[in-house]
Chain A
Amino acid sequence: MSVTYLEAIRAAQEKALADDPRVFIYGQDVGSFGGAFKATKNLAAEFPGRVMDAPLSEDAIVGLAVGAAIEGARPIVEMQFADFSTVGFNQIVNQAATLYYRTDIPCPIVVRLPSGGTLGAGPFHSQSMEAVYAHYPGLVVMTPATVEDAYSMMLEAVSIDDPVIFCEHKLLYYHLKADKLPDTAQPVGKARIARAGRDATVVTYSAMLHESLQAAEDLVEEGWQIEVIDLRTVKPLDTDTILASVARTGRLLVVGEAWPWGGVNAEVISRVATEGFGLLDAAPMRLNARDTPVPYHPDLWAAHRPTASVIAARLRQLLTQ
């Protein structure tokens, strides 16, 4: 038996509903239809009244979740695409994210964001919004890259007392598979060394983990051993694991699918530069998507985001500097 990344998210939501009566799911088409991507398939039938179709109103959906959280519920809300969370942005960053700081009442909501680019998806069904949300104090931002993390981090997202922005990558939904769901997990907030190496460190997360691992594999033939770190959560950012790796390798490339200006990559490099400058043997490098909307045409899209071959090429530059 194997389980996909998407099935892991579904299974985690199922377990959360089964284990905790305070949990409910609210979002467009999440009920009997099972969600646009089927992440809530059969859950409405299994948990009557707790998995409900919402009107087409992201602002109100998130607002409802915050209100319910104030009253002790643990809502999971689904945005049909991460891109549409901009419509619920005010409730996320001003209502949910400030509640605990202002009132001492925590806000245990999970906002699921089907994120990232896929073939032909275009400017409004492709966005990676983790950096935008990470910018706001008061939010935990998760970016699982593996089936195991999709499952265990979703469970932890529901149990955490703070608002969690759960960025699940659509490109991983169907293709990424594991043999089984995990029984144990690394705690949220800790990065993971996905591949050990000594020559350079790649820090990455979400779908770019897989492009980076491929690049690392491609460089083996050339004699390079690349360490690849999967951030898992971009906020909090596990600076210690990054610095420890850079201390071993002396070289850093940060890879992300989001836009370049002020994102996760910029934050990682800024922390390494300020806290670990002396560890670096070469200037740190980064790869982001290009600074334009995500294009529709497959050829443009392929040139818009980092890929394994681009990452490998950049690593060659870094390694010979």
Chain B
Amino acid sequence: MVTAAKEKTVACNDLDPALLVRAYRVMLLARATEDKLASLYRAGMIKGGVFLGKGQEALSTASSIFLKKGDIFGPLIRDQAGRLAFGDTVLDTFRTYLGSAKGPMRGRDGNIHRGRPREGYYAMISHLGALVPVVAGGLYARRLRGETGVVGVTSIGDGGTSTGAFHEGVNLAAVERLPLVVVIANNQYAYSTPNSRQFACADLLDKAAGYGIAGFKCDGTDPFASLETLQLAVQAAREGRGPQMVVATLLRLVGHGEHDDAGYVDAALRQANVGRDCLEVGATQLIESDVATADDIAVWTKEAQAEVEDALNIAQREKGPDPAEEDWQAISTERLADGHHDLEDE
């Protein structure tokens, strides 16, 4: 059962204008946040890598904006926007990159490896694919507890679909008929590796049929189409129709990380439809459908930038963790702590 959603470019009859505005403002906020992260990286103020989702804001926002309190979201590398739409904050973003002790990861983990699992916001590990079965497991437990109408969304790249964990996770979710939406951001490359070296099926959506789950396709550079598609997919999962796979085509408009100039990206792709900037596409859509004016968008952009500055000011003043105050325990059961640290008394 593979149902391709209509690929629309402008009009979007099924979506509430208020939702369109909210989605677009999340996209703007994500872009402003990431622009700031890039400049912090260039200024040497972030230790370690910076991994951005520029160009993927529309799809990422759409991935989580239809989720409700009590749902599960398992975002990945390119999901700054989806994280914000699910309730993460710009402040916690900076806190995590800067290693603030007040951030959700308390300096123990950084950058994109953040979440608040108690709030249904799972914290990815680096190993791609690994989150798919974990989100499935969260949904499984919800079902055991008798909760209905819960949905879990997780995302993955074209590269991540080649992992065993992805395959095992999607297959398991299909067997268990879990309300899981897997959003595949086919941005044409996994680091430098083009799709031609990643998979041999004509379309990643073909995999949905193989797993026996529903599939949707959309243009990930098109905010309206992304929103419409995800709305359908999330609704289908919520109604108990099992796992849903969404495959969106787009291009990452930045390097794999900020250290990477992405010189391997085919110039023709940048000029093609997949290379469009979803923020520009979205602005045109909002204006042409009379949802907003260019002035509105200019004001929102300024507001997003101001929010980013405010959050950064707070995060920059916060302290990192104090090694002397750390408990250096990796297990929660205190009486079972092995307690052997050679470094302890230095």
User: Which A residues are within 8 Å of any B CB, using their own CB?
Assistant: 28-29, 31-33, 36, 52-60, 81, 83-84, 86-87, 119-125, 260-261, 285-293, 295-300, 302-304, 306, 310, 313-314
Contacts and interface: CB of A to CB of B under 8 A. Distances in A.
B49 A314 contact: no
Interface stretch (B62-70, B233-241, B304-312, B324-332): B324-332
A119 B99 CA distance: 12
A50 to B, nearest CB: 15
Contacts of A122: 48, 109-111, 113, 126
Contacts of B284: none
A86 to B, nearest CB: 7
A118 to B, nearest CB: 8
B341 interface: yes
B54 to A, nearest CB: 20
B134 interface: no
B110 A120 contact: yes
Contacts of B111: 122, 296
Given A28-B191, A56-B128, A83-B126, A300 B163 contact: no
Interface in B179-200: 190-193, 197-199
Given A81-B126, A303-B343, 17 more contacts: A29-B191, A31-B192, A52-B197, A55-B162, A55-B197, A55-B199, A56-B193, A120-B48, A122-B113, A122-B126, A123-B125, A292-B328, A296-B99, A296-B107, A298-B47, A299-B107, A314-B346
Contact of A286 (B48, B108, B342, B346): B342
B interface secondary structure, majority: loop
Nearest to B106: A297
Interface residues of B, number: 44
Interface string B303-322: 00000000000000000111
Interface string B37-56: 00000000011110000000
B343 A87 contact: no
B242 interface: no
B323 A302 contact: yes
A29 B192 contact: yes
Contact of A260 (B164, B326, B341): B341
Given A56-B193, A296-B105, A299-B320, A124 B125 contact: yes
A313 B107 contact: no
Contacts of B343: 287-290, 303-304, 306, 310
A121 B48 contact: yes
A287 B108 contact: no
B160 interface: yes
Looking at A59, A290, A298, the one whose CB has the most chain B CB atoms below 10 A away is A290
B323 A299 contact: yes
Contact of B47 (A119, A124, A286): A119
A286 B343 CA distance: 9
B330 A313 contact: no
Contacts of A304: 343
Looking at A53, A60, A86, the one whose CB has the most chain B CB atoms below 10 A away is A53
Given A28-B190, A55-B197, A260-B342, A300 B108 contact: yes
Given A86-B127, A122-B48, A310-B343, A57 B162 contact: yes
A57 B128 CA distance: 10
B108 A28 contact: no
Contact of A297 (B163, B320, B340): B320
B338 interface: yes
A36 B16 CA distance: 44
A123 B110 CA distance: 9
A42 to B, nearest CB: 14
Contacts of A286: 342
B21 interface: no
9 contacts: A33-B264, A53-B192, A55-B162, A122-B111, A288-B343, A291-B340, A292-B328, A300-B321, A306-B343
A120 B112 CA distance: 12
Contacts of B328: 290-292
B164 A57 contact: yes
B254 interface: no
Given A56-B193, A287-B343, A123 B199 contact: no
B346 A124 contact: no
B52 to A, nearest CB: 16
A212 to B, nearest CB: 14
Contact of B108 (A87, A124, A291, A297): A297
Given A28-B190, A300-B321, A295 B341 contact: no
